[in-house]
A and B are shown apart, each in its own frame.
Chain A
Amino acid sequence: MAAFAQEQLDALVNSMYREGFLDEQFQQIRALDEGGSPDFLVELLGLFCADADRMLNEVTVVLNQPIVDYKKVDAYFHQLKGSSASVGAHSFNLTCMLVRDSCDKNDKEGNIFLMQLLGGIEPGQTEVL
């Protein structure tokens, strides 16, 4: 049973590599786990998800302001870009770079679209809540 679950997990992870969601950094993190137990990986992913959740919420607040402070948005995504690179979340990392490009252009619509991709905003929302 455990072997089957492990096979399924490996298949999922491999597909995520193929589709570009993960990169070799993820493999490096897995290799840092001791004795085959994924505790370290789980801990890191937990930290990353908590950080991402918090920052996306804060960016949402900033984007809701009448005058958007793009420097703040850029600073948040700079951090997210770093954390996503550290855990091997490749596509997330690329999206953060695109958000930062949007910030350079003061492109609010671009930011909203990309936030939807990251799951920070529900798809179809034209106004940031």
Chain B
Amino acid sequence: MMASPLFFPLALVLYFSPLKKQQIIEHISKVSEAAMEKMKGEIVEEERSNCDNEGDGKLKVRILVVDDSLLDRKVVERLLNKSEEGFEVITVDNGKKAMDILGLNEAETEPAAINDQSIDIVLTDYCMPGMTGYDLLKAVKGQSFPKPIPVVVMSSENEPQRISRCRAIGAEDFILKPIQIKDVQRLRNYAKPNASSPIVGSKRKMKPLELATESGGGSEKRPRLAGVVVA
């Protein structure tokens, strides 16, 4: 019984008057309920953050899709979201916005760009007004990100010169539009989320009462029940 976590609360109840006992019991119940609620909240939070990741140990990949065609953006976004490859999709309609998201600024030359939104891979259309996909590719590959960002170019034109031009400056791949399921699987292979990210699926076990251990020295660690007021 000494080892039981309920020993001290029970001892307090046994040694006080009935009225005090009742008050103590009520207080213990409230503390227990509060502790339970807090733990429930923590578990929900943990599960929510785990839901950001795909199951089966996969990590979600943040993909930036750049295409001036709304129709194409919708198709690609839907395909990526519905695939089981675990993508979190961000879409923009021009290269300049893509540069902003990647933390690249054409006006300034910074020694190291900051990928604030943690983009894991860029999928860009080749033909776009203003800044083309090729220009964007060149800009991304010309920067020194802490973690290099793979860039895959897509185009409706199957031009060997265009393809080799993109590969020559570092494009990981060149995909012919319209994009297919098999292309989505290839994209997943190019993107490598941070290896130190937690593996999803672990859950904390709920205990009826959480006890805090006292810090400091001593051969014995005496558990104490937080929040109990003894009259």
Q: Mark B162-190, 1 if CB is under 8 A from A, else 0.
A: 00000000000000011011000000000
Residues of chain A within 8 A (CB-CB) of B127 are: 78
A40 and B75 alpha carbons, distance in the complex (Å): 9
State whether the Cβ of B97 lies closer than 8 Å to any Cβ in chain A: no
Q: Is the interface of B mostly helix, strand, loop or mixed?
A: helix
Tell whether, in the assembled complex, residue B71 and residue A47 are in contact, meaning their CB atoms are under 8 Å apart: yes
Tell whether, in the assembled complex, residue B74 and residue A82 are in contact, meaning their CB atoms are under 8 Å apart: no
A102 and B58 alpha carbons, distance in the complex (Å): 50
Residues of chain A within 8 A (CB-CB) of B181 are: 28
Given A28-B79, A78-B127, 5 extra CB contacts under 8 A: A28-B180, A40-B74, A44-B71, A44-B74, A51-B71
State whether the Cβ of B23 lies closer than 8 Å to any Cβ in chain A: no
Residues of chain A within 8 A (CB-CB) of B71 are: 44, 47-48, 51, 83, 86-87
A86 and B71 alpha carbons, distance in the complex (Å): 8
Tell whether, in the assembled complex, residue A86 and residue B78 are in contact, meaning their CB atoms are under 8 Å apart: no
Cross-chain pairs A/B with CB under 8 angstroms, 14 sampled: A28-B79, A28-B180, A32-B75, A32-B79, A40-B78, A47-B74, A51-B71, A78-B156, A82-B72, A82-B156, A83-B72, A85-B156, A86-B71, A86-B72
Q: Which residues of A contact B (CB under 8 A)?
A: 25, 28-29, 32, 34, 40, 43-44, 47-48, 51, 78-79, 81-83, 85-87
Number of A-B contacts (CB under 8 A): 43
Knowing A32-B78, A40-B78, A78-B127 touch, does A86 contact B177 (C-beta < 8 A)?
yes
Residues of chain A within 8 A (CB-CB) of B213 are: none
A85 and B180 alpha carbons, distance in the complex (Å): 12
Residues of chain A within 8 A (CB-CB) of B178 are: 25, 28, 85-86
A11 and B79 alpha carbons, distance in the complex (Å): 26
- Residues of B135-184 whose CB lies within 8 A of A: 156, 177-178, 180-181
A32 and B82 alpha carbons, distance in the complex (Å): 7
State whether the Cβ of B22 lies closer than 8 Å to any Cβ in chain A: no
- Residues of B171-211 whose CB lies within 8 A of A: 177-178, 180-181
Question: 10 tightest A-B contacts by CB?
Answer: A82-B156, A47-B71, A86-B178, A32-B78, A83-B71, A86-B75, A25-B178, A85-B178, A86-B72, A86-B71
State whether the Cβ of B70 lies closer than 8 Å to any Cβ in chain A: yes
Q: Mark B55-91, 1 if CB is under 8 A from A, else 0.
A: 0000000000000011110110011001000000000
A79 and B78 alpha carbons, distance in the complex (Å): 20
Residues of chain A within 8 A (CB-CB) of B156 are: 78, 81-82, 85
Residue of B nearest to A34 (CB): B82
Residues of chain B within 8 A (CB-CB) of A40 are: 74, 78
Residues of chain A within 8 A (CB-CB) of B79 are: 28, 32
A28 and B82 alpha carbons, distance in the complex (Å): 12
Tell whether, in the assembled complex, residue B177 and residue A43 are in contact, meaning their CB atoms are under 8 Å apart: no
> B123 to nearest A CB, angstroms?
14
> A9 to nearest B CB, angstroms?
21
A25 and B156 alpha carbons, distance in the complex (Å): 13
A86 and B73 alpha carbons, distance in the complex (Å): 10
Residues of chain A within 8 A (CB-CB) of B72 are: 82-83, 86
Tell whether, in the assembled complex, residue A29 and residue B75 are in contact, meaning their CB atoms are under 8 Å apart: yes
> B139 to nearest A CB, angstroms?
23
Residues of chain B within 8 A (CB-CB) of A85 are: 156, 177-178
Residues of chain A within 8 A (CB-CB) of B74 are: 40, 43-44, 47
